[in-house]
Each structure stands twice: as C-alpha cells, then as structure tokens.
Amino acid sequence: MCGRFALTATPGQTAASLGLAELEEFPARYNIAPTQPVLMALAGPPRAPGSNLPDRQAMLVRWGLIPAWVKDTKEFPLLFNARSEGVLEKASFKTAMRHRRALVPASGFYEWQQSGAAKGQPYWIRPKRGGVVAFAALVETYAEPGGSEMDTGAILTTRANAGIAHIHDRMPAVIEERDFARWLDCRTQEPRDVLDLLKPAGPDFFEAIPVSDLVNKVANTGPEIQERGIVWPQPEKVRRQKPGADENQMTLF
C-alpha cells in the first residue's frame, strides 16, 4: 500500500526527470495524503513534425480515483491505490488502464511496520541514489452531477521487494525512465503489453529510515517528519484489582 509520499525536488528537477515542459513553481511537499492534489504526467497530444516540444503533459489530479460510472461518491470507497495484479479485470480501473496511464513523481514514500504498537513504526522509504522516482498511476476524469469535471487518480502497487518486505507486503510500482514512453503510450500499447512494467523495484533500490510518528498527522508538513526517530511501543495498562483480590483469580473488574 502507498498512503503517503513526498515530493521535495524542485519544479526544474521534477520536469527534467519526467521529460516535461517547464513547470510552475510549487513548494516542497513532505507529507502528501489521499484526497490532496498531486502532480501527474501523461502522454500529450501528437506533436507536429519537427516539433521540439515534450510529448508529455503535466496535470494536477485529486489523489483518489473515482470511476466515471459512480453515481454517489459518498457511498464509494477512496481508491488511492490500485493492485496491479487485478488491474485489467477490476471495473474501477480497467478503462483508465487502457486510456489514461500516468506517472507520479516522488522523492519517496512512507510505510508503517505493524509490530504491536497501536499505530506501528513509520518509515521514510527513499531511493538510495536520490533524485525523483516515478510511480505508475491511473487517471480518470469524473463528471460531477452539477456538470463540473474533476481529474482523479490512483497509484498502482505491487508486492514488496526483499528490501522492504519486513516493513510491509506492498509497495508502489516504480517505472524506470527507459520505460516511461512505453507505459504512457495508450495509443499503441495495449494494457497487457505493459503489465511487465508493474513489478517490484530491485531489492537495493530503496533505503528505509525509521521516523517518528509526526508523519501520522496530515497537518505535519515540514521536513522534520523525515528525521530519523523511533516510535516506542505503548506500555500495557496495568489492570486495577480490588483490595485483597488474588491476582490469579478471574474477575470482571
């Protein structure tokens, strides 16, 4: 699963990494959460012969895909992730998989290791080589009952690699730069032709850094949430006993 990520690269670095035209200025974002706007890159319209313009376009998308056929969004779950293993069969994703494949630029993502603590130990998981990575994503334009349209999207996930499987069994599907064009090409590349790209990153691609529980709150958006830290398990509450009661005796109190 991928429920939080960060994009701290500059607009220039982000544009260069995805082969986009110049992006408008935006601040570093350390704690991006579902329902927030996220930057995605899609294939652009066909270029004129001899054009030097990029063949990709950027758009802001609400993180949480809503299929076009949904009638009541209040009754529909928040689809911020899509499992790559069933993406061709799931009604919520198969149309977007055919027509609107995208890339999400990220500096890394967060995951929580469950080990008895109430909320688990959060980790900041980033590429060892640094820079910007691209997560596979899908986009769907949802027409609201009032007539307005909203672009929505989901990040595709796959099984975790050996490097982070001890933290969580899922991870975002990372698309390598050499495969950007093939993944985004929805005109000539059928969905079945790009399924091979939805695989775990190499076992040494990411490094996982334990961080404090500041990341748990969406309101915390500063760089301090990526500082190394440990969330200690909560001590078990001591059960109060009636005076004189035998601690081995069963009690309702």
Where in the sequence numbering do the catalytic residues fall?
2, 111
| DSSP notation for the chain | ---EEEE-S-HHHHHHHHT-PPPPP---EEEE-TTSEEEEEEE-SPPPTT--S-SEEEEEEEESB--TT-S-GGGS--B-EEEGGGTTT-TTTHHHHHH-EEEEEESEEEEEE-SSSSS-EEEEEEETT-S-EEEEEEEEEEE-TTS-EEEEEEEEEEE--TTTTTT-SEEEPBPPGGGHHHHH-TTT--HHHHGGG-SPPPTTSEEEEEB-GGGGSTT--SGGGGSB---PPPPPPPPP--TT--TTS----
